[in-house]
Structure 1
Amino acid sequence: MDTENELPSALSGIRVLDLSTVVMGPYAAQILGDLGADVIKVEAPSGDVSRSSFPQLHPGMSALALHVNRNKRSLGLNLKMPEGREAFLKLVETADVVVTNMRPGALQRLRLEHPVLAERNPRLVYCHAQGFRSDSRFADRAAYDEVVQAASGMVYLMQRLTGTPYYVPTILADKLCALTIVYSVLAALAHRLRTGEGQHVEVPMTDTLLTFNLLEHLVGNTFLPAAGPMGYSRTITPMHRASATSDGWACIMPYTPKNIRDFFHAAGRPELAEDERFASTRSLAQHAAELYELIEELAGEKTTAEWEQLCVEYSIPFAPVLTAAEVTQDPYITEGGPLTVEEHPTEGPHRVIQPPVRFSASPSRVRRHCPTIGQHTTEVLTELGYSEDEIARLIAEGAAGGSAQAASP
């Protein structure tokens, strides 16, 4: 991609080593890359496990991999081999940040814990994300998104809402923790800018999702003694859902007492506009389910387009319920929005999810497509001072490489 004559991004000049797999760490590292960092994805010569998911047009280039590995270079290293590990340590000496989600036991076996890397580079920001706190009895337990949802109370909230302990239908813990990794790394870099010190940053997934859930759901248990039960009533009533219009579905969400008065006037039910149940924030909190029932009852009297016109007129929060396919075709998305079509060198035309944040002076941008496995192995090792013969030997011995090298003549 041509980036000449463009303003530098916020993290230009920062090098990040992405020593992580699946979604959480790679997504966080990708965001840092979107912000301008030189991100080097350090993966086994066989590739990160996410590369094997489906669908995919070519081996190692799954749809998921395309969405979490742009703005990166791929370095294939076998960290279990001394030569591969030493190459990584040389790379650490040039880095500002390492992001990893390896379990503590794996890091110990590879001798890649924070003290080891800090000895080679004291200014390093070492961010380690894992399922549970390192000082807890669960420190080395395996933890995927569903495990974290269960351990953090998210599945219980779904059970309160639906009667069934569903998982949230998105990898919420992974993506939320990725965002937490990003702001934590940025804070550590700001600390280093002031003091010159690197540090170890730990992001426990369960703690992150737990604090996220408790923000509104701790409610009455915030006080001692408790002033009420846990659970934010407005969001865990079964009536908290989209409503059926006469020709589809819509989110019609009058939120404030004024919104509610305007909604009932617009719906032709002025007598409800002065209903004491919805007249104040306090009374509304006690009668939210009844309000949602009335909205659902009235929604079927008009089309989605008619409700949209009324809600826009009265400044009542509204959105039609779009299917996944409709979202990708919606004008808001396609007319300068976050979904664009780009040409990948090996995968051809594909949809790219653009960075959502806009900076006036240091824009984030997609500079590199998702690399093939080990695509930049030779390039990065050359930057570290390895000769052509040394690189060839590392690849021949299996200490470095990847599909890019394997496919080369």
Structure 2
Amino acid sequence: MGPLEGIKVIDLTSVVMGPYATQVLAEFGADVIKIEAPAGDLVRAIGPARHSGMGPMFLNSNRGKRSITLDLKTPEGREVVLELCRSADVLAYNVRPAAMARLGLSFEALAEVNPRLIYAGLYGFGQNGPYAARPAYDDLIQGGATLAHLFRLSGNEEPRYVPTAISDRVVGLTGVAGILAALVARGRTGRGQRVDIPMFETMVQFVLSDHLGGLSYDPPLDGGGYARQLSVNRRPLKTADGYICALVYTDEHWKRFLTALGEEEKLSDPRFADYVGRSVNIDHVYGWMTGVFLTRSTAEWQALFEEIDVPAMPLHDFDSVLRDPHLTAVDFFVRVEHPSEGALRVMRNPVALSDTPVTLPGPAPRQGEHSRDILRGAGLSEAQIDSLFEKQVVRGL
């Protein structure tokens, strides 16, 4: 039994941020009921696929869920959601709160149906500010939270986005934390509550925890930014035959590293002698390392770092990471058989719990695959279910 066994989640989310959060809940053992509009979740169509609507981004953010296709814009569709929420523990959504209110699915409306319900919204902006009604996507939030600006500060001519949906993933995990906190509180009070997880505020905190720097003080001590992370030379180090990722960080690391290279005299150089000196002269330090690393192969450097116990890793690409010996040893990538998509490679949840193990959840669902079963579980009769299908309020396989 997973740690969330017995918890029922009504999942009204789509695209990446919300589905990623609810997949984590499913991996922890929750029963997640994914409600999709007739058009289906947009990410079903992203990436190569064996069958329409079953693309890899969908498969990797919706495992372990049951799917029902439901038209929420109809009165009957709303009534189905209310019925599902009567016995649910969590409802998660990632449209703007005003859209939920227009559907008649506000926190107040659902709290009347089930006062124990955790009502969790993952969306763009806190509702007390001027941006409240704005739409938001990962790219926008990366720019607003200064992530794109960091690229310019670190030597790029133009600002850039991180080439992964980092805002969606970080906010999704923050949403998981908020939902779990609300469930713990409910265990004490017996009451559900509204949980709001705004993207913009979450990502500004995430980024500026490193980079607020001297702006933490009033008056400011500097213009902000963590010098080591922003150094133009902070990057994988080119070796004689490839690249390596190494972080010679602490004073003890530097002592062992310079001694191994026969460069002990640098230990008395104020630019290398201690953490403060290296921080002030980080561009010089990293520039020197850039030249040094060209003198040996990647394997030679990796062997040296293991010998002197300094952190280092190979620079992986999408192919080589699949063959990483550590990930292989811990069975991180697992081959499974999907009932419609055949053989798939999936990733385990990395969290390990000793008493309530996190196991692989079931496969990502086909759209509407479980519509009838979900409605039966909510107590609807076969006649009621047939009527909903005839009116196309509900659809399924």
Matched residue, 1:401: 395
Residue 266 (structure 2) aligns with: 272
Structure-2 separation of matches of 1:209 and 1:384: 37
Range that drifts further, 30-39 or 158-167: 158-167
Superimposed CA distance per residue, residues 318-358 of structure 1 (whole angstroms, 9 cap, x where no aligned partner) = 01111111111222222323211111010000111110111
> What is the rounded CA distance, in whole Å, between the counterparts of 1:158 and 1:108 in structure 2?
39
Task: Work out which of the residue numbers 18, 22, 28 in structure 2 matches 1:35.
Answer: 28
Q: Report % sequence identity.
A: 39
Letter in 1 for 2:76: E
Aligned residue number for residue 244 of structure 1 = 238
CA shift at 1:389, angstroms?
A: 2.3
Counterpart of 2:307 in structure 1 is 313
2:286 counterpart of 1:292 = yes
Partner deviation per Cα, 1:24-47 (whole Å, 9 max, x = no partner):
000000001111111110111331
SS in 2 for 1:363: coil
Q: How large is the RMSD of aligned CA atoms in angstroms?
A: 1.1
Q: Find the aligned partners of 1:322 and 1:179 in 2 and give their Cα distance.
A: 24
SS in 2 for 1:268: coil
* Other-structure match for 1:352: 346
Given candidates 85, 95, 105, the residue that maps to 2:98 is 105
1:5 is aligned to: none
CA positional deviation for 1:229: 2.0
Instruction: Find the counterpart in structure 2 of residue 90 from structure 1.
Output: 83
Q: Once structures 1 and 2 are overlaid, which stretch shifts more, 260-269 or 87-96?
A: 260-269
Report which stretch shifted further, 286-295 or 202-211: 286-295
- Supply the distance in 1 between the matched residues of 2:78 and 2:52 (Cα, whole angstroms): 26
Q: With structure 2 as the length reference, what TM-score do the two structures score?
A: 0.97
1:208 maps to 2:202? yes
Confirm or deny that 1:282 pairs with 2:276: yes
From 60, 63, 74, give the equivalent of 1:81.
74
Instruction: For residue 392 of structure 1, give the secondary structure of its aligned residue in structure 2.
Output: helix
In 2: Cα distance, 1:325 partner to 1:82 partner? 49
Query: Does structure 2 conserve the Cα–Cα contact (< 8 Å) formed by 1:264 and 1:272?
Result: yes
How far is 1:18 from its partner? 0.8
1:132 aligns to 2:152 (yes or no): no
Aligned equivalents of 2:60, 2:279: Cα separation in 1: 40
What is the CA–CA distance in structure 2 between the aligned matches of 1:115 and 1:159, rounded to whole Å?
45
Q: Secondary structure at the match of 1:85?
A: helix
1:44 to 37, 58, 67: 37
Deviations 1:194-221 (Å, cap 9, x if unpaired)?
Answer: 0111100100101000001111211111
CA distance in 2, matches of 1:222, 1:51: 43
Q: 1:10 aligns with which of 3, 9, 19?
A: 3
Post-superposition shift, 1:177?
Answer: 0.3
Give secondary structure in 2 for the equivalent of 1:381: helix
1:24 aligned residue (6, 17, 32): 17
- Partner amino acid for 1:345? P
CA contact (8 A) 1:16 1:96 kept: yes
CA distance in 2, matches of 1:315, 1:88: 56
Distance 1:249 1:53 in 2: 31
1:272-299 Cα distance to aligned partner (Å, 9 max, x none): 2332212222212101111111111110
Q: Is the 8 A contact 2:97 2:121 kept in 1?
A: no
Give the Cα–Cα distance (whole angstroms) in 1 for the partners of residues 328 and 78 of structure 2.
Answer: 44
Tell me the equivalent position of 2:229: 235
Q: 5+ residue gaps in structure 1?
A: 1-7, 405-409
Unaligned runs of 5+ in 2: none
Q: Which deviates further from its counterpart, 344-353 or 50-59?
A: 50-59
**Offset of 1:184 from its aligned partner?**
0.4
| 3-state SS of 2:153 partner | helix
Shift of 1:23: 0.5
The answer to whether 1:194 aligns with 2:188 is yes
Cα deviation for residue 261 of structure 1 reads 2.0
Contact persistence 2:335–2:344 (CA under 8 A)? yes
How far residue 270 of structure 1 moved from its aligned partner, in angstroms, is: 2.5
AA of the residue aligned to 2:331: G
TM-score, normalised on structure 1?
0.95
